[in-house]
């Protein structure tokens, strides 16, 4: 689980069609970028204090042209051009042609000048423009950060090689059945930057088989007010914006690494206007959930969350017209709010991701290495959003294996890979976060198999059509999946086990930990499988052998006990941490599963046992729902539990079964025969172990079972 050139003849004939212009094939020899190689020499020349105006690859006008002023665009002119690049791109007259050529300006301006709109004095060197990158960054991080910085600069430069994060163009994947014929695309003349200008847009070829259409942002709805939107978002959180960013990367990011941390901080310190409005708002609104966790913020009034919600939703709709990787990031982050999850937005995010080609294998694409890693992390985060959304909403999934070729994540796909030898605790948190994310992906793939095997319309119809053999069919299909779950749990790395670093007396126990959401997801996956087995037993109760019913119900009961005990062991360090969006429903599924077992209990004694256990579970949820910890997380589960237990009061009275009458007694030979038929040849002992995975490290030693109900607590399929 990678120009300016003369287009006057083209523009004159096609001036009514918006288009973009290819990246420069090669700069002039006096420019600091030799021949198109993305080397560190190029990076150094961009940051050199000795650079002069004549050394700049591009120069900006002292006064922007009228068109750029109206569109609030950066007005940039080449060394030998009389009109700005924006006007050249869009084929419109430039007011600079009618005015004296302004003085040249350096490419790298001071961020304070950018935000305040100030200009340096003509002919006088401005030391504020000469800033160095932080020495604390590794050479790799500094290089990749500069790649993104240059990719988002308004002019066409040799480093503008990103595909999904350009700030003036967006990309559309050209699929195999569109009006673009792949064979004809290959006939198009591509420049050394793998781009080809057409009347409809600019083709960008990233591999031998994958091509995108690049289109300009400024022709899309809402483009003209994106700066005012991001200004309003920043105003709502001022003066606490930076502290909220810190909170996000301290609490959310380690367990959900879908942003590029170092790049995010660099852009924020330079100018918040470089961010997509919905992404910046999503980071703020998610971090506000831990407002009281910060001693500094808890003394201040919270920002207007409702207004932030309105802005993020409106700006996200605008961003969908010019989708980028930041659009997917914003949508995923917004969905992580416990109260913000909905199914329809998930479908929109999946569609946007497919537009951006996130479902493809980008391993050998001609894009920067950091963008490949970001794309893979986003793709798998989207995969999880789709599969867990399908579970908690009971809807068909949008992602299918036949159209999913994303490669598994590796270490180099993550940011923050550099090790700080002086901060071992932070290193542990980084490692734990990466491991948690990868293991959640692996678990989600097992969940996807369960949903595909048992919960599609066709699968449910096949089981129904099997009639009296439906339960045997379900058990046979469940066996390999249950084994996968058991193997997954057994192979969990120690760093993300519940008992790894959060036992009493451990120094690290004061840090928040999000590993709880992974273990809760594991129980929800187990329950989803066992729910289908119990349903089949109920549907075909007359056709299923009592011994098979007993062993299946015993295994299901073991799952319920373990899940409830896990919730009982959660500490404030777990409850206050970041929880994955599906967690509130996963808490509720435990109660729903208990209610199902109560409703299908054959006798009064067993039904009473489930009634008592559900009462205990509700109490555990109530004490876990203290303000400032998991408020809203367990409250939803309590509400659903009250609904289900309220319905159970309408059940007919269960018969009272004596202990001797409730025991299932068969000779060993017949037991072997029954289970062999039901489990596809698997013996009863192996089936019993399979249906009750070894999770002793999760179960609480204080957990006690009523002695009067021990028939239901332990089950030996082959007693002596």
Q: What is the average per-residue pLDDT within 402-431?
A: 81
As to burial, measured by CB atoms within 10 angstroms (0-12 exposed, 13-18 middle, 19+ buried), residue 179 is exposed
Q: Quick check: 596 pLDDT over 50? A: yes
How many angstroms separate the Cα of 719 from the Cα of each of 550, 557, 645, 659, 710? 14, 20, 35, 17, 15
Pairwise CA distance, residues 369 & 586, whole Å: 36
Higher pLDDT, 519 or 542: 519
Return d(Cα 711, Cα 557) in angstroms, integer.
11
| Range with top average pLDDT, 110-114, 177-181, 596-600 | 596-600
pLDDT digits (tens, 9 = 90+) for 175-197: 999 999 888 888 889 998 899 99
How far apart are the C-alpha atoms of 595 and 535, rounded to whole Å?
A: 12
Give the pLDDT of residue 533.
95
The Cα–Cα gap between 431 and 436 comes to 8
Reference 624, options 561, 559, 569; nearest CA is: 569
d(CA 534, CA 553): 7
pLDDT for the residue numbered 86: 65
pLDDT tens digits, one per residue of 21-51: 333 333 333 333 333 333 333 333 333 333 3
DSSP structure class, residue 397:
-
Query: For residue 343, what are the CA distances in angstroms to 350, 383, 392?
Result: 11, 14, 9
What integer pLDDT is reported at residue 304 of this predicted model?
Answer: 95
Residue 494 vs residues 257, 351, 371, 456, 694: alpha-carbon distances, Å: 20, 37, 30, 35, 16
pLDDT at 341: 65
298: Cβ–Cβ under 8 A, 6 or more apart, which residues? Answer: 291, 292
* pLDDT given at position 543: 66
Among candidates 549, 604, 522, which has minimal Cα distance to 715?
549
CB 406 within 8 A of CB 376: yes
pLDDT band at 597 (very low <50, low <70, confident <90, very high): very high
End-to-end CA distance of the chain: 44
> Dihedrals φ, ψ of 76, to 5°?
-125, 135
The CA distances from residue 163 to 23, 148, 168, 365, 698, in Å, are 12, 11, 11, 10, 45
* 653 touches 603 (CB < 8 A): no
Residue with tokens 């990031």: 329
Q: List CB contacts of 337: < 8 A, sequence separation 6 or more.
A: 285, 286, 289, 581
Is residue 662 predicted with pLDDT exceeding 50? Answer: no
Q: Quote the CA–CA distance of 85 and 184 in Å, as a whole number.
A: 30
Q: Answer whether residue 545 shows pLDDT above 60.
A: yes
pLDDT digits over 114-147, tens only? 333 333 333 333 433 333 333 333 333 434 444 4
pLDDT of residue 90: 58
Output the CA–CA distances (angstroms, integers) from residue 372 to 168, 261, 278, in the order listed: 20, 15, 22
Torsion region of 35: left, alpha or beta (phi above 0 gives left; psi -120 to 50 gives alpha):
left
Out of 74-83, 168-177, 304-313, least confident range? 74-83
What is the helix (H) or strand (E) element at residue 227, kind and residue range?
Answer: helix 226-237
CA dihedral 665, 670, 676, 679 (to 10 degrees): -20
**In the Cβ-directed half-sphere of 258, how many Cα atoms lie within 13 Å?**
24
Give the confidence band of 686 by pLDDT, cuts at 50, 70, 90: very low
Q: Note the residue count of the chain.
A: 720
Chain-wide mean pLDDT for the chain? 76
Name the more confident of 15 and 666.
666
Q: How confident is the model at residue 309 (pLDDT cuts 50, 70, 90)?
A: very high
pLDDT, average across residues 435-450: 98
Token code pair at residue 661: 């009458």
Helix (H) or strand (E) holding 668: helix 668-678
Side-chain half-sphere CA neighbours of 706 within 13 A:
11
The alpha carbon of residue 248 and the mean position of all alpha carbons in its chain are separated, in whole angstroms, by 14
Specify the pairing of strand 195-197 against strand 76-77.
Answer: unpaired
pTM for the whole thing? Answer: 0.74
* Cβ atoms 611, 631 nearer than 8 A: no
What's the longest Cα–Cα distance across the chain? 104
Cβ neighbours for 222, distance < 8 A, ≥ 6 positions apart: 315, 317, 318, 319, 321
Kindly compute the dihedral angle of the four CA atoms of residues 617, 618, 620, 621, in this order, to the nearest 10 degrees.
120
What does the pLDDT average to over 86-94?
Answer: 67
Provide DSSP, 573-615.
HHHTS---TTHHHHHHHHHHHHHHHHHT-SSHHHHHHHHHHHH
59: enclosing H helix or E strand: strand 59-60
Binned at pLDDT 50, 70 and 90, residue 316 comes out as very high
């Amino acid at each position: 689980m990678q120009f300016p050139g003369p287009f006057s003849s083209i523009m004159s004939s096609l001036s009514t069609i918006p288009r973009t212009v290819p990246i420069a094939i090669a700069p002039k020899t006096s420019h600091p970028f030799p021949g198109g190689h993305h080397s560190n020499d190029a990076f150094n020349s961009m940051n050199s204090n000795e650079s002069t105006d004549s050394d700049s690859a591009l120069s900006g006008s002292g006064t922007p042209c009228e068109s750029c002023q109206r569109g609030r665009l950066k007005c940039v002119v080449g060394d030998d051009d009389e009109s700005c690049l924006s006007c050249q791109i869009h084929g419109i007259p430039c007011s600079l042609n009618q005015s004296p050529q302004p003085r040249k300006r350096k490419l790298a301006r001071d961020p304070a000048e950018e935000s305040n709109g100030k200009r340096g004095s003509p002919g006088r060197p401005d030391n504020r423009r000469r800033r160095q990158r932080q020495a604390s960054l590794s050479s790799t991080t500094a290089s990749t950060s500069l790649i993104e910085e240059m990719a988002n600069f308004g002019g066409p430069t040799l480093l503008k090689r990103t595909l999904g994060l350009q700030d003036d163009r967006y990309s559309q994947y050209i699929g195999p059945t569109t009006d673009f014929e792949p064979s004809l695309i290959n006939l198009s003349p591509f420049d050394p930057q793998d781009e080809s200008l057409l009347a409809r847009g600019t083709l960008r070829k990233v591999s031998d088989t994958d091509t995108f259409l690049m289109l300009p942002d400024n022709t899309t709805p809402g483009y003209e007010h994106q700066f005012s939107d991001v200004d309003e978002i920043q105003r709502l959180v001022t003066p606490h914006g930076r502290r909220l960013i810190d909170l996000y990367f301290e609490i959310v990011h380690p367990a959900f690494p879908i942003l590029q941390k170092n790049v995010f901080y660099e852009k924020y310190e330079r100018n918040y206007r470089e961010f997509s409005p919905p992404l910046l708002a999503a980071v703020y609104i998610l971090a506000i959930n831990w407002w009281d966790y910060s001693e500094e913020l808890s003394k201040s009034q919270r920002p207007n969350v409702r207004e932030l919600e309105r802005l993020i939703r409106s700006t996200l709709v605008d961003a969908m017209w010019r989708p980028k990787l930041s659009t997917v990031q914003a949508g995923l982050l917004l969905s992580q709010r416990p109260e913000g999850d909905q199914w329809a937005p998930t479908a929109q995010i999946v569609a946007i991701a497919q537009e951006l080609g996130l479902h493809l294998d980008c391993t050998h694409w001609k894009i920067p290495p950091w963008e490949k890693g970001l794309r893979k992390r986003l793709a798998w985060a989207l995969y999880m959003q789709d599969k867990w959304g399908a579970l908690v909403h009971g809807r068909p999934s949008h992602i299918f294996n036949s159209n999913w070729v994303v490669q598994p994540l590796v270490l180099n796909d993550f940011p923050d890979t550099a090790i700080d030898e002086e901060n071992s605790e932070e290193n542990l948190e980084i490692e734990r976060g990466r491991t948690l994310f990868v293991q959640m992906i692996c678990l989600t793939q097992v969940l996807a198999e369960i949903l595909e095997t048992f919960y599609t319309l066709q699968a449910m119809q096949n089981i129904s059509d099997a009639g009296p053999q439906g339960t045997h069919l379900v058990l046979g299909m469940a066996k390999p999946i249950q084994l996968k779950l058991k193997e997954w749990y057994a192979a969990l790395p120690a760093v993300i086990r519940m008992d790894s670093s959060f036992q009493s007396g451990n120094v690290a126990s004061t840090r928040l930990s999000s590993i709880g959401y992974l273990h809760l997801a594991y129980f929800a996956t187990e329950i989803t499988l066992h729910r289908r087995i119990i349903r089949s037993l109920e549907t075909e109760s007359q056709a299923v052998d009592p011994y098979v019913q007993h062993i299946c119900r015993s295994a299901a009961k073991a799952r319920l006990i373990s899940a409830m005990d896990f919730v009982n062991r959660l500490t404030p360090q777990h409850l206050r941490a970041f929880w994955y969006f599906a967690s509130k429903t996963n808490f509720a599924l435990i109660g729903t599963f208990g209610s199902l077992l109560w409703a299908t209990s054959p006798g009064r004694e067993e039904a009473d046992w489930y009634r008592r256990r559900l009462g205990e579970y509700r109490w555990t949820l109530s004490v876990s729902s203290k303000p400032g910890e998991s408020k809203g997380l367990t409250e939803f589960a309590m509400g659903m539990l009250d609904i289900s237990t309220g319905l159970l009061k309408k059940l007919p009275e269960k018969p009272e079964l004596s202990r001797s009458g409730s025991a299932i007694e068969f000779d060993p030979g017949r037991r072997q025969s029954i289970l062999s038929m039901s489990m596809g040849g698997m013996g009863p002992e192996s089936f019993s172990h399979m249906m009750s995975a070894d999770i002793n490290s999760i179960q609480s030693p204080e957990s006690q079972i009523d002695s009067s109900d021990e028939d239901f607590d332990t089950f030996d399929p082959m007693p002596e």
